[in-house]
Amino acid sequence: MNFEKINQELRNETLILKPISQDDRTFINSMFSDPEIKKFYIVPNEARQDFRRVVDYWLDDNRNRAGTCWIITKKGRNFFSKDKKCGFVAFEFRGNIKNARISYAILPQFRRKGIATSAVNIIINKLKNNGVESIEADIDRDNLSSEKLVEKLEFIANRKNGLIDPDMMRDGEIRIRTLWKKSLVELNHSKISSVSIDASPQLIVSLINQIVDEINLNGQQPKLMTRYFYLLGRIKFIQKNYDEAQEAFKNCNIIILNEGLPENNETLYWFGRIHYEKGDWSNAKMYYGFALEKAHNSPEEYMLKQEVEKEMTKLEAHFL
């Protein structure tokens, strides 16, 4: 990775992002006079008495190629309208140079104008084009506007797992933060799309092999791993290895839960099938009931209501 290609002035139609410099100390200090920025943006303890020192940390990251910060400037609309500094956006590598954590702040008078969204998007695209594979953002749960921003940019989070930063435990208040994540790796969606209920073992094994190749190429991306375990469950079911199938579907759902991904309601159907094959009629009925609630009528969807209803009808004979 060529860090200099990241640490440069960036622009779009409305914004200029300039790398932080010593000349920005006064501006940064003025930003932290805003109560919301002071409340939600984490800075080292040593900088709380003089927020100009935050610039030192960013410049150190810059020298060490560990991250950097840009001052966000809104372009003037015409000759009589001057450019105006309105905030900052920063990042630091976390764990390795393939993963970066972003942070940002906007002055009150420039909020709700799409500036933060636009600036963050510029940085995400720049990082992606220079080899970064994942982005994260550590956001206070009370900072609803910031959460809406990352949601708009397709970050996901497991809100059940909160982070408590000891540095935020002050004034008798414990603040809980959520870690939001976004993968920048382009996945082959044909390999993670739905598979028909009557798909052959040969097709499923072929898809598993393709996904393994994709994992070897792009790493253990959560969407790929959930699809891998789902298809593994399908194969184990066909092989009548019901305990292994159940474990594979369970692993699929655990990743979904931990990563905040959309539910895979297809596993409910297969849990029902597994319990049916084991002769556990009560649990089979329960899971079919759950699956029926989530099933669709559209033929473009994998799990049709009629498929679940067919299994329910077959099951009812055991309750007569």
| CATH assignment at residue 300 | 1.25.40.10
pLDDT of residue 320: 53
DSSP class per residue in 237-259: HHTT-HHHHHHHHHHHHHHHHHH
Same domain, yes or no: 193 and 167: no
Domain at 54, CATH number: 3.40.630.30
Same domain? For 144 and 9 the reply is: yes
Mind giving me the DSSP string for 91-137?
A: EEEESEEEEEEEEEEE-GGGTTSSHHHHHHHHHHHHHHHTT--EEEE
- Is residue 156 within a helix (H) or strand (E), and if so which, with residue range? strand 156-157
- Domain boundary, last residue among 119, 152, 183: 183
Tally the domains of the chain: 2
Matching residue, tokens 């699809």: 227
Last residue of a domain, one of 130, 151, 183: 183
Per-residue pLDDT of the chain (320 residues; tens, 9 = 90+): 788 899 999 999 999 999 999 999 999 999 999 999 999 998 888 888 889 999 999 999 999 999 999 999 999 877 667 899 999 999 999 988 889 999 999 999 999 999 999 999 999 999 999 989 889 999 998 999 999 999 999 888 876 677 776 665 655 667 788 889 888 876 555 554 567 788 889 999 988 988 888 887 667 888 889 999 999 999 999 999 999 999 999 999 999 888 888 777 889 989 999 999 999 989 988 998 888 887 665 444 455 677 788 887 877 776 65
Domain shared by 50 and 149, yes or no: yes
Q: What is the pTM of this model?
A: 0.66
What is the predicted pLDDT for the residue at 296?
62
pLDDT value at residue 263 = 79
Per-residue pLDDT at 307 = 78
Q: Measuring CA to CA, how many Å separate 253 from each of 50, 88, 145, 285? A: 46, 38, 29, 20
Contact yes or no for 272/278 (Cβ under 8 A) = no
Buried (b) or exposed (e) across 149-188, using 16+ Cβ within 10 A?
Answer: bbeebebbbbeeeeeeeeebeeeeeebebbbbbbbbbeee
Of 168, 183, 198, the residue that ends a domain is 183
Measure the CA–CA gap between 116 and 90, rounded to whole angstroms. 12
CB 190 within 8 A of CB 165: no
List the structure tokens of 120: 């963050």
Domain extent for 287: 189-319
Q: What is the pLDDT of residue 299?
A: 43
Answer yes or no: do 132 and 193 share one domain. no
DSSP-derived secondary structure letter, 24: G
Same domain, 99 and 24: yes
Are 179 and 206 within one domain?
Answer: no
Alpha-carbon distance values, 21 to 59, 62, 154, 172, 208 (Å): 7, 10, 31, 35, 50
- Distances in Å between the Cα of 289 and the Cα atoms of 247, 258, 310 are 21, 25, 12
Same domain membership, residue 148 and residue 220: no
C-beta pairs of 150-157 under 8 Å, 24+ apart in sequence: 150/120, 150/180, 150/182, 152/117, 153/117, 153/120, 153/121, 153/124, 153/182, 154/182, 155/180, 155/181, 155/182, 156/180, 156/181, 156/182, 156/259, 156/260, 156/261, 157/181, 157/260
- Give pLDDT, residue 188: 55
Same domain, 224 and 306: yes
Structure tokens at 210: 């393709």
Q: Within this chain, do residues 221 and 169 fall inside the same structural domain, yes or no?
A: no
The predicted structure's pLDDT at residue 44: 82
pLDDT at 304: 63
What is the DSSP code (8-state) at residue 175? -
pLDDT reported for residue 298: 44
Residue 20 pLDDT: 96
Element (H, E) at 72: strand 67-74
Q: What pLDDT is attached to residue 74?
A: 95
β pairing state of 134-140 and 96-106: parallel
134-140 and 176-183 strand pairing: antiparallel
Cα–Cα nearest to 124, from 62, 181, 39, 193: 181
- What per-residue confidence (pLDDT) applies to 34? 95
- Quick one: which H or E segment has residue 178? strand 176-183
Q: Does residue 248 share a domain with residue 156?
A: no
135 lies in the same domain as 175:
yes
Question: Which stretches within 136-241 are classed as H helix?
Answer: 144-152, 201-218, 222-238
C-alpha angle 278/281/285, rounded to 5°? 120
